[in-house]
Amino acid sequence: MTEAIANLSRKEQVIRKAAELFREKGYAAASMRDLAQLLGIEAASLYSHIKSKEEILRSLCFDMAAEFRKSLEEVEKQNVSSSEKLRRGIIGHIQVMAKDLTASAVFMNEHRHLSQPYLRDFLLLRINYINRFKTIIEEGVKNGEFKSTIDKKLAVMTLFSSLNWMPMWYDPSGGIIEPVELGVQLADMLVNGLKQTPK
Amino acid sequence: MTEAIANLSRKEQVIRKAAELFREKGYAAASMRDLAQLLGIEAASLYSHIKSKEEILRSLCFDMAAEFRKSLEEVEKQNVSSSEKLRRGIIGHIQVMAKDLTASAVFMNEHRHLSQPYLRDFLLLRINYINRFKTIIEEGVKNGEFKSTIDKKLAVMTLFSSLNWMPMWYDPSGGIIEPVELGVQLADMLVNGLKQTPK
DNA sequence: CCTACCGATCGGTAGG
DNA sequence: CCTACCGATCGGTAGG
CA dist B188 and B184 (Å) reads: 6
Distance from CA of B157 to the nearest CA of A (A): 8
CA distances from A44 to A32, A59, A190 (A): 9, 20, 48
Contacts of B46 (CB under 8 A, 6+ apart): B14, B32, B35, B36, B39
Which among A186, A194, A199 is the top mutation candidate for probing chain B, defined by the most B β-carbons within 10 Å of its own β-carbon? Answer: A186
Q: How would you write the pLDDT of chain B (199 residues) with one tens digit per residue? A: 445 566 668 999 999 999 999 999 999 999 999 999 999 999 999 999 999 999 999 999 999 999 999 999 999 999 999 999 999 999 999 999 999 999 999 999 999 999 999 999 999 999 999 999 999 999 999 999 999 988 999 999 999 999 999 999 999 887 778 888 999 999 989 998 888 765 4
Which among B161, B177, B194 is the top mutation candidate for probing chain A, defined by the most A β-carbons within 10 Å of its own β-carbon? Answer: B161
> Tens digits of per-residue pLDDT, A107-159?
999 999 999 999 999 999 999 999 999 999 999 999 999 999 889 999 999 99
The distance (Å) linking the CA of B43 with the C1' of C11 is 23
CA distances from A67 to A60, A95, A122, A131 (A): 11, 10, 13, 17
Q: Which of chain B's residues have a Cβ under 8 Å away from the Cβ of A182?
A: 151, 154
Q: Which of chain B's residues have a Cβ under 8 Å away from the Cβ of A161?
A: 161-166, 168
CA dist B101 and A27 (Å) reads: 23
CB contact under 8 A, B164 and A169: no
The torsion angles phi and psi of A12, rounded to 5 degrees, stand at -70, -35
Helices (H), chain B: 2-25, 32-39, 53-77, 82-99, 101-110, 118-142, 152-169, 179-194
Q: What percent of chain A has pLDDT over 90?
A: 84
